[in-house]
Amino acid sequence: MQSKLSSDIIVEILMRLPVKSICRFKCVCKLWCLLISDPTFIKRHLNLAIIDKDIEHQRQKLILRSSSTPSLYHVECDAMTSNDVMAVKLHFPLISSFDKVKFIGSFNGLLCISLEPEKLVLFNPATREQKVKRIPNLYIDINRSLDDRVSRPPIYGFGYDHSFDDYNVVKIMYESIVYVYSLKTDTWRRAQRFSYRRFNSDSGVHLNGAVHWVFARGKDSPLVSMPRLIVAFDFAEGKFRELPRPYDDAENVTAVGVLGGCLCWLGEQQDFWVMKEYGVKESWTKVVIGVPFLNLRPLCFLKNDEALLVINEGLIVYNPREDTHREIVIHGINGRGKLEIETYVESLVSPNVWNWELKEISD
């Protein structure tokens, strides 16, 4: 006698499957296609990775590119149990050899990419959906000299505004002008004037509805002598705010990061700081690792609480309990340039919700 599964059980099973398998199951029947495309199911599938660490580890991926080639590659984080992993090339036809490609950030499975000088791309590597948006000619302060306008590239940040259920891109240019792009309304708006000084053109890191950088305050003093500050742009409030630092003497710190949902203050040599409770100065905790470094960027936690880190431009798996580390060698990437790496967790979230022209990438 043939038994039938209830719709609730079917949903529970589908929610635990990889994105690639779920996308194939859209072809089973019209009912399944409607179910998998439903925003409620997409959110439940996404939230499961937030509350279940095993599911999160299964869906966790790296996306990479070499500075000497415009191609994109991805790597399974589960493959990091081996010291040698193979990268798989992604078919991403929007990128040409003439594009200046830069990862801005990722959230909820969506990767934001800048193709300078005039394109933004929102890309879901798991579903292969992508959206392209040309950056309009934004306001230029005519009182600034031409040298000041073109001397430094813009700074970007990408994140999610929970209060409006919207994905935003912030762009800081000409050292003082700030614009925010809403992916829901498809509009740019002028934001609070930028009154800090930057140390580089790195994109900010997203956490708790804000994008974070290390900046300095003021315009007149020599940059090297100015104190480093943690500055966040809050998408909901549309303005900058400062967060407490773990200590005041921070002349060698030029970056922050995120690890395990916590903000990190990245110094040099053999330690960095982790803010265990967001915004609380007393929660800063010093982490000392047995790997000397000039620069460090945390990526994510792997299984067994090992941390995946970029140290001195190399990929390292660090075991904090045993204070040991091992180097990861990635094969299959063309070119010998510097690797740019971004993490993402596979999801069904579609960039199509903002009514851009949909482009699906076939294998």
User: Is 28 in the same domain as 156?
Assistant: no
Q: Which helix (H) or strand (E) holds 111?
A: strand 110-116
Choice between 336 and 122, residue whose per-residue pLDDT is larger:
122
Q: Do both 30 and 63 map to the same domain?
A: no
In a domain, 43, yes or no: no
* This prediction's pTM: 0.87
Whether residue 27 sits in one domain with residue 101: no
Q: Domain check: are 161 and 32 in the same one?
A: no
Asked whether residue 350 is assigned to any structural domain, the reply reads no
Taking 80 as the threshold, does the pLDDT of residue 29 lie above it? yes
- Once rounded to an integer, what is the mean pLDDT over residues 214-230? 75
89 shares a domain with 33: no
| Cα–Cα nearest to 64, from 113, 119, 120, 133 | 113
User: Is residue 32 classed exposed, middle or buried when 0-12, 13-18 and 19+ CB atoms within 10 A define those classes?
Assistant: middle
Residue 66 confidence (pLDDT) above 80: yes
Beta bridge partners of residue 190, listed in sequence order = 179
Give the model's pLDDT for residue 355: 43
**Range of weakest confidence among 32-46, 213-227, 345-359:** 345-359
**Residues 166 and 31 reside in one and the same domain:** no
Residue range 36-59: average pLDDT? 89
- The model's confidence at residue 219, banded by pLDDT at 50, 70 and 90, is low
What pLDDT is recorded for position 353?
64
The HSE-up count of residue 221 (CA atoms within 13 Å, CB side) is 12
Most confident of 15-29, 149-163, 247-261, 345-359: 15-29
**Residue 2 is assigned to a structural domain of this protein:** no
Residue 346 CB burial class (10 angstroms; 0-12, 13-18, ≥19): buried
| Residues 206, 159 contacting (CB under 8 angstroms) | yes
The answer to whether residues 15 and 109 belong to one domain is: no
Domain match, 27 and 166 both? no
Q: Among the residues of 60-162, which ranges form H helices?
A: 146-150
**Model confidence at 250, in pLDDT bands (50, 70, 90)?**
low
Cα distance between residue 272 and residue 63, in whole Å:
24
Cα distance between residue 127 and residue 139, in whole Å: 35
Domain count, the chain: 2
Report which of residues 139 and 264 the model is more confident about: 264
Q: Which two tokens stand for residue 57?
A: 């580890």
**Nearest C-alpha neighbor of 315 from the set 303, 302, 115:** 302
Report yes or no on 188 lying in a domain: yes
| % of the chain residues with pLDDT over 70 | 85
145 CB-side CA count, 13 A: 4
Domain ranges, residue 11:
7-37
Length of the chain equals 363
For position 358, what pLDDT does the model report?
34
**Is pLDDT of 203 > 50?**
yes
Same domain flag for 118 and 15 = no
Instruction: Based on the fold, state whether residues 123 and 19 are members of the same structural domain.
Output: no
pLDDT digits (tens, 9 = 90+) for 265-275: 987 677 889 99
**Residues 89, 360, 70, 233, Cα dihedral to 10°:** -110
HEC assignment per residue over 248-293: CCCCCCCEEEEECCEEEEECCEEEEEEECCCCCHHHEEEEEEEEEE
Contact 179, 192 (CB under 8 A): no
Asked if residue 308 lies in contact with residue 341, where contact means CB atoms within 8 angstroms, the answer is: no
Does some domain include residue 27? yes
**pLDDT at residue 271 in the model:** 83
Q: In the predicted model, what is the mean pLDDT of the chain?
A: 83
What pLDDT, in 10s, does the model give residues 275-295?
999 999 999 999 888 777 778
Percent of the chain with pLDDT over 90: 35
Burial (CB < 10 A; 0-12, 13-18, 19+), residue 98, is exposed
What's residue 361's pLDDT? Answer: 35
- Note whether residue 79 is domain-resident: yes
* Dihedral angle over CA of 73, 92, 159, 223, nearest 10: 70
Region 11-29: what's the mean pLDDT? 87
Query: CA gyration radius for the chain?
Result: 21
Q: How far apart are CA 190 and CA 213, in angstroms?
A: 19
Q: What pLDDT shows up at residue 175?
A: 74
Q: Read off the pLDDT of residues 163-177 as tens digits, 9 standing for 90 and up.
A: 888 999 999 887 788
**pLDDT tens digits, one per residue of 75-104:** 999 888 899 999 999 877 666 655 678 899
Q: What is the mean pLDDT of residues 18-37?
A: 86
Would you list the DSSP string of 281-342?
Answer: GGGEEEEEEEEEES-EEEEEE-GGG-EEEEETTEEEEEETTTTEEEEEEEES--S-S-EEEE
pLDDT band at 137 (very low <50, low <70, confident <90, very high): low
Residues 20, 165, single domain; the answer is no
Read off the CATH number of the domain in which 291 is found.
2.120.10.80
Q: Which whole number is the average pLDDT over 227-252?
A: 87
Q: What is the mean pLDDT of residues 113-135?
A: 83
29 in a domain, yes or no?
yes
Tokens representing 356 are 């851009």
Q: What is the pLDDT of residue 65?
A: 86
Same domain, 15 and 91: no
Residue 358 lies in a domain: no
Q: Is the pLDDT of residue 147 over 60?
A: no
